[in-house]
Structures are given as C-alpha cells and as structure tokens.
Structure 1
Amino acid sequence: MVEYLDTSAGRKLAYHKTNGKGPGVVFLGGFMSDMSGTKAIHLEDWARSQGRAFLRFDYSGHGESSGAFADGCIGDWAEDALEALSKLTEGPQILVGSSMGGWIALLLARKLPKRVHALVGVAAAPDFTEDSMWPGLTDAQRAEILEQGQTSLPNSYDDTPYILTRRLFEDGKAQLVLRTALDLPFPVRLMQGTRDEAVEISVPLRLCEHATCPDLRLTLVKDADHRFSTPECLGMITAAISEVSQ
C-alpha cells in the first residue's frame, strides 16, 4: 500500500518501503517517470527476496506525489530525494539512479556522503538540462522558453508531452556536478547501453574522467537502449548491487 511523506517544503511524496537488512537500496527514477516502472518493481521484488531494505518513491509532480510536473525542477526533486533518504531510511544506502536519477544520486552523494554506501548509475544523466536538453532545442523553442516561460516536446514513451520551463533550465545551472570537484568516496558502478537514444556514451565517460573515486567501473552494453529493462539488463543491475553491498 502506498504511503506518503510530508516534506518540509509542503510537498507530499508517495512511496513504498520494504523493511529488511542493510545496506538498503533507494531507487531514484528518471525525468517524468514514476516508481511503478519496470526497474523499480524488479528491484523491489529482488530486495524482498534477499531480505534487504528497499525504498522507491515519486518526486513531487511525478506519479502519485503532489504537485504539477511543470512546477518542478532538478533542485526540487533533489530536495525530495534528500528528505526521503533522511526520513525513510537508516544507515548508509545504495543509491540506484536511473537517467535523471543518476544526477539526483550524485547531488545526494555531494550533500550527504556518509549516508551513501555505494552508487549504481543506470544511463545516468548528470547535467542533462545544460549539456543535452538545451542545446537540443530549436531556436524557436528556446525563444519560447525565454519569452513565454515554457515549451512542450513530444514524449517518445507515452502521449503526455514534456513541459520544459525556464525555471527548469535556470535551476539546472545551479545543480551541475561536472563543473566542480566531485568526490565519490565509495564504490560506483555505471551501466550504459550503446543504443541509448537519450544519453550519449560520452556522458558516463565524462563522469568517469571527472569524478574522484577509489572504485569506479563503467560497463557498456551493446545494443541496450535507454530503458535498460531487458531481463539481462535487470540482472546486471542486481548483480552490481550485490557486488557493492559488501
């Protein structure tokens, strides 16, 4: 049954929590996705079979949480994740960040490094608003954002368009993690498909080059796409979690 966390910012976050042994696993979803996706449910089932603590939740404006998606930004969703981590889990956690969730995980690691046992990034997309989304817009779309405050883009996953706001991009500049020192003093495992249509291979390579980390490994998976949700890919994620659980 879904539960709700009231945040200090007045937002209501929907979540599912599984009790168990540590280190627990926290799943951080992607941009305009929710906690009912294939990876989140698979990891919850796997964690339950292992007797391991697990948390999945919806950022504000996503899924069953309060608020409108268009009102949110990276900073808001990172605050949501910070409160979920702080109030709903105990001890060091393994953060599993999918796409935008990988960026959120890095922000959490910078804010609360002692609460992070390890980080697993699945098609992690740090700094994407600045490095790929904004450059990928047309001149007309950028002008619409600057002059009218937002524009909409078709969504390749369902019929709900992406609403991209001026606030999203302005806030994104304040959340960048690849421009300043990024110390990750714990194991990091990154996985990236070679047919990912949303995140280029150069992104995890840049992250590997930029971060200071004693144990960071990147696995490229031939022909895997951005969803990274085939049985083989899901098995790689759980294997990575098991590896860094020690």
Structure 2
Amino acid sequence: MKKIHDTLKTANDNSIAYIYEYSPKNKHNLIWFGGLNSDMHGTKAEAISEYADLNNYNFCRFDYSGHGLSSGNFEDCNISDWLNDSINILDNICNGQQIFIGSSMGGWISLLLALKRKNRVSGLVLIAPAVDMTEILMWNNFSDNEKNTINKKGYIEIFSDDYPPYKITKNLIDDGRKYLLMNQKIPIDCPVKIIHGIEDEAVPWDLSIELTKKILSNSITQLFIKDGDHGLSRTSDLDHIFFSVEQIIKKI
C-alpha cells in the first residue's frame, strides 16, 4: 500500500498537509476529520491508520488550515475554512465513496461535508461530535463579560490543561452561525454510528442524543461509554471505533 505525505494547494493559495494511504485493490475508503486544535498525528488518527493498513482499507487524513503542518494562522480561520479544506481533500485526493470518521469538531465538519457531498459518503462514525460547538459550547457558555470582550477585542483567550492558550475569535463565532444544524432536521440517510463518553467534560453526551433525533437516517446507532472521556483514545475506545466502521462496511 502506498503512503503519500504531501500538500494540496487550494484555489486561495493555502497548503493543506495530508497523508493518503491507498492501494487500487482496496475496496473501502476511510477519511479522518480531527477536532479543534488537533492534528493528523493524534492517537486516534494513528490508530485508525494502523487498523486501515491491517484491513486493506484506503485511509486519508489531513490538517485543517492553521493546524499542524498546513498553512495559515489558527486565529484567522473559521468553520468555512475548515469545511473548504475538507471539500478540497475529498474532491482532489480521495477516490470513491468514503466512510467519514469525525472526532469532536470533526464530527460537525463530517456532517456538513456529508450534506454537501451526499454521493461521496457511505457512512459516518461520529466520536463525541461537537455539532454547533461555536454556539452551543462556546457562545452560550460565555459569561456576559466574555461576550463583551469578544465583541470589543475580537477574541478571548482560552486556557486549558490540555493545550497551550489559544484564542476564540468573533470571526469564528459569527462564521459558525452559518452552519448550525441543531435547529433543523438533518437530511442524511446513510448509516451513522455515534460514540460518546459519559465522562466527557468538553462535549456533553446528551448533545449526541439530541443529534440523533435531528438526523433523518433510519440507520443510527448510539454507543455511550460510561467511563469514557472526551478523548476516547484508550485501546477499548479504539476497538469501539473500529467495530463501528466494520458495522458500516457490512451495510454497504
């Protein structure tokens, strides 16, 4: 199986770093969508790469603009940029129908891409999907003082034990409002698997229950892991992800 490390030049002169592992003989295709402030070398992405290699599945992963090895500054980017990165990778690098595997923000991006490229998606595996995160998880949870700061300065700084300090911009919040899904039915009819940890402190697990109600597909399975956190990167968690992919493959 070939393993290509390269960059894709986009129409707006961005460079999107990606890794594409494939063989023309392989029948099934997987594409990974990471979370906010993550990169394509995270634990889950690396584990799925090994799993895909063992099972002769093509696998593509990439860094969003302002992430990892891709061009751009994180603070200048928004959901439109990251969705366009995803469209560019899908349209120009990946062949055939794909199983979209999206983690956290990548779950939201996966859904948005599935709506734009319905003929290219054969199934969705959504891991702690942070759907509408800019509104539900960010803006709605900001204090009045934080909202005033972001409106005046254009950003607020976020401090986390897991990441270096980073900025959430007004641009990100405002742009995210163009892509809100939880206020409507979501016309996706392919198989969907949702995996969420009950101990997730970043994305409440009940958001996945509400998401299930919004997606129109009749083939949706939810898995809640009682002691699972947001990362879901333990061996047992990864096995659940692999099993979900296999269940979708059986249906296509």
The alignment's TM-score, normalised by the length of structure 1, stands at: 0.97
Which one of 115, 134, 138 corresponds to residue 139 of structure 2?
A: 134
Gaps of 5+ in 1: none
Q: C-alpha root-mean-square deviation of aligned residues, in Å?
A: 1.0
Pair 1:169-2:180 in alignment: no
1:85 paired to 2:87 = no
| Equivalent residue runs for 1:1-246 within 5 Å | 2-20=5-23, 21-158=26-163, 160-246=164-250
- 2:221 aligned counterpart, secondary structure: strand
* Distance apart, 1:178 and its partner CA: 1.6
The alpha-carbon deviation at position 139 of structure 1 amounts to 1.8
SS of the aligned residue for 1:22 comes to coil
Q: Describe the superposition over 1:92-123 as per-residue Cα deviations: whole angstroms up to 9, x where unpaired.
A: 10000000000000000110111001000000
The one-letter code sitting in structure 2 at the alignment partner of 1:13 is: I
Question: Which amino acid letter does the alignment assign opposite residue 116 of structure 1?
Answer: V
Distance in 2, matches of 1:132 and 1:18, equals 34
How much does 1:64 deviate?
Answer: 0.5
SS in 1 for 2:27: strand
- CA positional deviation for 1:231: 0.3
Tell me the distance in 1 between the aligned counterparts of 2:244 and 2:65. 28
- The Cα of 1:163 is off from its aligned counterpart by 0.6
Question: Matched residue pairs, number?
Answer: 245
Partner SS state of residue 17, structure 1? strand
Unaligned runs of 5+ in 2: none
Q: Percent identity?
A: 35
Q: Distance in 2 between matches of 1:214 and 1:33?
A: 31
Q: Report the CA distance between 1:135 and its aligned residue.
A: 1.7
TM superposition shift of 1:51: 1.1
TM-score of the superposed pair, with normalisation by structure 2: 0.95
How many angstroms apart in 1 are the aligned matches of 2:105 and 2:137? 12
Provide the C-alpha distance between the structure 2 equivalents of 1:227 and 1:126, rounded to a whole number of angstroms: 16
Question: 1:162 offset after TM fit, Å?
Answer: 2.3
